Amino acid sequence: MKRYLISFAYDATNYHGYQKQPNLKTVQSEIERALFEINNNKKVIIHSASRTDKGVHALDQKAHFDLDVTITPYKLKRALNSKLPNDIHINNAEEVNNDFHARYLAIKKEYVYILNMGEYNPIERNIVYQYNKKLDTEEIKKAIKYFEGEHDFISFVSAEDKKDNNIRTIYETSVKVLNDKLYIRFVGSGFLKYQVRNMVGTLIEVGSGKRKKEDIASIFKAKDRRKAGKTAKPEGLYLSKVFYK
């Protein structure tokens, strides 16, 4: 038995999210179906770094799994890509130690949110959030700094998904404007369900003048999801990197 780590990209448009669900087409179930064939029709369960929500894309998601058959990483990548639909792509495969774990050993993750402030773009409708209005990006650049550091993110977590410990650390943020597009980037120790989309939704409200950037400090203090902004649409969000030691 050998353990493998794959990195992969997907267009989430036609899936019910990453995680396996009965009778629904998900990214995980597509990859497990392909691995089942490669593994001589023996079931394979994959463990991903992140379970992205419905509509959220990945540029470089990671997952590990064990195979009974012996196959070189190069051939594994090729075999998987030949069996996967064209909206999922394996970027890389490698052999790892038997105690490697794609989720538990991830030390940082990077998410990028892309938003179009210009005219509606039909060509990018599923891969860039079509906000289609101007935003005060200078205010957003200042506001995002409030998220940096260690915080209890309970006000930015979906109510049904609170954990015992909602403390996470955001190591790095950036906001870039290119043509009419806004790129909002977070690098953190880990992210709770809807956390990135709720932070982005709050930043959009700052950029549209609906809120002040200082509100973010009060939202943290309130420890109340209802104080934060609306959850931003999923199609603008990308899991872009997962870091290991």
Residues of this chain that interact with a second copy (CB under 8 A) are 9-11, 57, 59, 81, 86-89, 91, 119-125, 127
Are 184 and 200 in contact, with CB atoms under 8 Å apart?
yes
Are 41 and 107 in contact, with CB atoms under 8 Å apart?
no
Give me the count of residues in the chain: 245
Q: How far is the CB of 85 from a second copy (least distance, A)?
A: 9
How many DSSP H helices and E strands does the chain contain?
5, 10
Distance CA(100)–CA(78), nearest Å, equals 22
Q: How far is the CB of 3 from a second copy (least distance, A)?
A: 23
Q: Please, which residue, 89 or 103, has the CB nearer to a second copy?
A: 89
Q: Please, which residue, 87 or 95, has the CB nearer to a second copy?
A: 87
Distance CA(126)–CA(56), nearest Å, equals 10
Nearest Cα neighbor of 109 from 7, 221, 216 is 7
- Catalytic residue ranges: 53
Q: How far is the CB of 57 from a second copy (least distance, A)?
A: 6
Q: Please, which residue, 8 or 220, has the CB nearer to a second copy?
A: 8
